[in-house]
Amino acid sequence: MSESSATQNKQPLTYLALGDSYTIGEGVEEKDRYPVQLVRELNRSGSFFFSPPEIIARTGWTVDELEAGINSAELSPEGYDLVTLLIGVNNQYRGRPVAEFEMEFEAMLNRAIGFARGRKDHVIVVSIPDWGVTPFAAGKGVDPEKVALEINAFNAAKQAVCSQMGVAFVGITEDYREIGAQPEMVVADELHPSGLVYARWTTKLLTLVQKTVF
């Protein structure tokens, strides 16, 4: 987006963030949620004018529960300029099959593209973090290798669908595996990420969004 178009068009750009606890920012202040951080940094750049993000997400949601949440929400009939999607960890956590998830995720991604007015280049999918590295998981005696293998399988399914549909896929999993056990990188429940983690995700998303022509 050119600076001239940003300044001439005073209508704010709109952003819809879809997901679960990682999108709603379980345990962090609203300002530290990654969708909120992303809008703040985009607007700070001077070339963008985004309204506050609309977030449809809840801790514990699986893909089908996100679907239900969307259906009960009042979303803009005009669509959105940017849509992000981060979902799947609770499908893995509950032991649901990857094949089932892949079908549900493809349908959800199609909905996300619809919310973006059919513009696939305005949709970004974020990979699932590996919660098996967290102090919470260690305290519960969880097998981190088993969780890692399962998270990898779910992420591979997500990435395959994104590749097939021509949607950007942002990988944050490997970085999270390196930092997710650090005390400052989790909130009080020792499971969910702190604002410092979301800031790292924001940096990756920011770089990608800045290349998008709005």
Phi, psi for 165 (deg, rounded to 5): -95, -5
Question: What are the tens digits of pLDDT across the range 104-151?
Answer: 999 999 999 999 999 999 999 999 999 999 999 999 999 999 999 999
- Taking the C-alpha atoms of residue 84 and residue 118, their distance in angstroms, rounded to an integer, is 14
188: nearest Cα among 24, 10, 27 = 27
- Taking the C-alpha atoms of residue 20 and residue 165, their distance in angstroms, rounded to an integer, is 22
pLDDT at residue number 97: 98
pLDDT at residue number 152: 98
Question: What are the tens digits of pLDDT across the range 71-87?
Answer: 999 999 999 999 999 99
pTM: 0.94
- Taking the C-alpha atoms of residue 24 and residue 33, their distance in angstroms, rounded to an integer, is 6
pLDDT at residue number 33: 98
Which residues are CB-contacts of 153 (< 8 A; sequence separation ≥ 6)?
A: 98
Instruction: Find the distance separating the first CA and the last CA of the chain, reported in whole Å.
Output: 5
**What b/e string do you get for 154-193 counting C-beta neighbours within 10 Å, with b at 16 or more?**
bbebbeebbeeeebbebebbeebbebbbeeebbbeebbbb
Q: For the chain, list the domains and their CATH numbers.
A: 3-209 (3.40.50.1110)
- Taking the C-alpha atoms of residue 68 and residue 8, their distance in angstroms, rounded to an integer, is 38
Decide if 106 contacts 149 (C-beta within 8 A): no
Structure tokens at 98: 């990857």
Structure tokens at 106: 């493809």
pLDDT at residue number 9: 54
Decide if 15 contacts 206 (C-beta within 8 A): no
